[in-house]
Amino acid sequence: MHIRRSLRRSRAGVTLLSLAALLLSGCSANEPASSAGSAAVAALAALPRATPSALSPYYGQKLSWRDCGVPGFRCATMKAPLDYAKPGAGDLRLAVARKKATGPGKRLGSLQVNPGGPGGSAVGYLQQYAGVGYPAEVRARYDMVAVDPRGVARSEPVECLNGRPMDAYTQTDTTPDDQREKTRLVDAFKKFAEGCGAHAPKLLRHVSTVEAARDMDILRAILGDRRLTYVGASYGTFLGATYAGLFPDRVGRLVLDGAMDPSLPARRLNLDQTAGFETAFQSFAKDCVRQADCPLGGKGAKPAQVGADLKEFFRRLDAHPIPTGDAGGRKLGEALATTGVIAAMYDESTWEQLREALTSAIRENDGAGLLALSDSYYERDPRGRYANLMSANAAVNCLDLPAAFDTPEQVEKALPSFEKASPVFGEGLAWASLSCAYWPVAPTGAPHRIQAKGAAPIVVVGTTRDPATPYPWARSLASQLASGRLLTYEGDGHTAYGRGSACIDSAINAYLLHGTPPAKGKRCS
C-alpha cells in the first residue's frame, strides 16, 4: 500500500483519505526528528514582490470560460510554466472551475478552495460540495473557484498504475512476516514508482507544493483579485500556508482547516499520524462497545478488547482472505480490510457503516462491506478504474520531502515506536512509509517553518481527535505563522468546517464575510 496524507471529504461523501500515502513523505530516516518550530528548521522565504517579466504572459492571460456540464458552473484552462526557474521550457494546462457569486450583497471577490490529498480534485470538490454546500451567505458574496493542482485530476494527471495492476498493489501485504513477503512489498513499491516514472518523467519533477502555490497566485491575478481568499482542508492547509509564506503581502482571508505542520521530518509526521489514527480508533472503540451490534469485544467490553479483537481479525485475514462477491474475484485480505477500517476513521458518521461491515466480515464471512469502504478510500469505480488520487499523492509527497525510510532495515528498527503509537495500525503504517525510498526522481523540498511575516490574519483550525492531521500540528502551524489564529474544535473526525458545529461554522463565516478572525484561544464543540 501507498499511504496518502489527507483529503477533506464532505459529510455527503465527496472525499475520503487513502491508505497508500497516509504517512507523509518527509526527511531522511537518518535525520533527527525535529520538534515543531525548531530553530534548526529554516523558514520558507518569501518571493520578491515584483512579478518577474518572464512570468508576465502567464499573469496577463485571459481565460476562455465554457460550459462545464454541471449547472451553475463554468470551466476554463489556465497555463502555467512547467518549470518556474525556466518559464520558456514549456507549459502546463491546468483545469479551473468557477461558480459566480449568487447575491444578494456586494461581491467580495473570489474564494479559492482545495480539499487536500495531495491529489484530491479541487474542481470536483467545488462542483460536488463547496459550490453548492458552503453556507449560502458565503456563496452569495464570493465567486467560488477551484484549480486542480498540477498532476491532479483534470490538470495533466500523473498515473502510475490502474486497473488490475493497481488492484494488486492495493492488496499487497504491508505487515510482512518473512523475507519473501518483505521482498514482495519492496517490489510493489518499485513497480508503482516505475509506472509513474515511465508515464510522466518531466512532470514528476514539477508537481511540488511550492509550484502549485505559485500556480494559485497566477489564478488570483487572472481573476482580478488583489489578495487571495482561500479555504484549504487537510493537505490544502499546507498548500495555503505555503502560498502565505511565498506571498505574504497577497494574503487575504485564509482558512486552514485540519492543519499540517511543515516543520516536521517524515518519520515524525508518520509517527504522529499513526498516533492520530489510534486516537480516532479509541473513540470508535468506546462508541462501539456501547452499541448492541458491536462485533468487536461485544457490548460493555473494554475498548482495549476492541483493538485486540480487530488485530486478531486482521491476522486471520492475512492467512485466509474471505469472499467479497467482487466481479473481478478480489477477496478481502488484511491490506484491504485495514484500508476499509481506516477509511471509516475520518468521519464518525461512518462508524455505523463500519460496525455493519465488520459484523458481516467476522460473523458471516462476507467482506463486501469492508471492500466498499476500501474502494471509496482509493477512489476505485465499479469498473475497476482508479482516479489518479493515489498517483498524484505519491508524486507530490515524494517530491516535497525526502523519504521517511531508505531501507527495510530502517523500518524494522522503527517498528517498536510505531506499534507503541498504534498497536492496531502501527506495523502496517510503518512499512507503508517506505514507498518514497524507490521514487524515480529526487526530492526538491525539506521540512521548514512558515512564518508569512506581514500577512493578514490567517485562521488555523484544529480538531482535537482528528486522525489524519493530529491536533498538535494545528497548534504548531498557528504558532509558526506570524499572524496565525488558532480555532479549536473539540471533537472527532477529520477537519471541522461544515461538519455540524455551529460554533465553528459561524466563526469561519464571520471571518470570510467580515474579516473578523476568531477570538484568541476560541474553542468549539
Nearest to 205 by CA among 84, 115, 55: 84
> What are the beta bridge partners of residue 458?
254, 484
494 counts as catalytic: yes
Buried b (16+ CB within 10 A) or exposed e, 197-216: eebbeebbbbbbbbbbbbbb
Among residues 225, 422, 492, 494, which one is catalytic?
494
Nearest to 506 by CA among 135, 188, 141: 135
| Coil, strand or helix at 422 | coil
Among residues 143, 466, 492, 505, which one is catalytic?
466
Burial of 15 (0-12, 13-18, 19+ CB in 10 A): buried
- Helix 334-343 with 303-319: angle, nearest 10 deg: 150
- 146 φ, ψ to 5°? -150, 150
375 counts as catalytic: no
CA 141 to chain centre: 28
The alpha helices in 365-485, defined as continuous H runs, are 368-378, 389-400, 408-421, 426-432, 471-480
Provide the 8-state DSSP code for 423: T
Q: What share of the chain is helix, strand, coil (3-state, %, to 5)?
A: 45, 15, 40
Characterize the bridge pairing of strands 523-524 and 484-492. Answer: parallel
Among residues 10, 25, 121, 234, which one is catalytic?
234
**Distance of alpha carbon 217 from alpha carbon 227, whole angstroms:** 9
> What are the beta bridge partners of residue 99?
144
**Distance of alpha carbon 149 from alpha carbon 122, whole angstroms:** 8
Nearest to 380 by CA among 432, 330, 310, 438: 330
CA dihedral 203, 207, 210, 215 (to 10 degrees): 80
234 counts as catalytic: yes
Q: Are 511 and 253 in contact (CB under 8 A)?
A: yes
Active site residues: 234, 466, 494
